[in-house]
Amino acid sequence: MSHRSVIKAVVIGTSAGGMEALSKLLPAVPSNFKAPILIVQHIAPTSDNFLARHLDSLSQIKVKEANEKEKIKPAIAYVAPPNYHLLVEDDLTLSLTVDEKVNYSRPSIDVLFESAAYAFKGKVIAVVLTGANQDGAAGAALIKKMGGIVIVQDPKTAQVPVMPESVMKATQPDYVVTIEEIPKLLVQLIK
């Protein structure tokens, strides 16, 4: 059985510059995409759901804010709401918490990545995009250790390279590519 047939989800983390990066990445994901996509973008606690609405208006797949106890489905991108951690439960529903900030962030990328690593038994692709801190590095390393795939935006092309670079220090990514290459890669990996 090929590694590729077993991927069950994509998790994406981004911070500074993320709105622009996601506005390039998500619209290029085809409407028949075979996996759910879970997204943490660091945003101000007081933000509204503009990010999800904006990305939904650009994209072929549905983009929405994640809800508590929501069952995840393929070809939908779930965005962590402002000021909530987004986690995947073992029954593959979503859960939202207001637990302490992790890496000064809520939502935290590590919290999503680590919960996804366990819920999907490592059968997950972690994507780390532009950002200004190290959130996501530990989570990406765990996904890689559990047999998942790690993709980072090429730091040379990231608006803020710190986040992709910190993942490259924490683990060996499977792919280091431009934002434009990521959607095609995801489609190939989730045939």
Residues annotated as catalytic are 15, 42, 135
Q: Considering only CA atoms, which of 143, 187, 183 is closest in space to residue 59?
A: 183
- CB of 135 within 8 A of CB of 15? yes
Q: Considering only CA atoms, which of 135, 140, 134 is closest in space to residue 152?
A: 140
Q: What is the DSSP letter of 71?
A: B
The separation between the first and the last C-alpha atoms of the chain, rounded to the nearest angstrom, is 13
Q: What is the DSSP letter of 26?
A: G
For residues 55 and 116, give the distance between their C-alpha atoms in angstroms, rounded to a whole number: 22
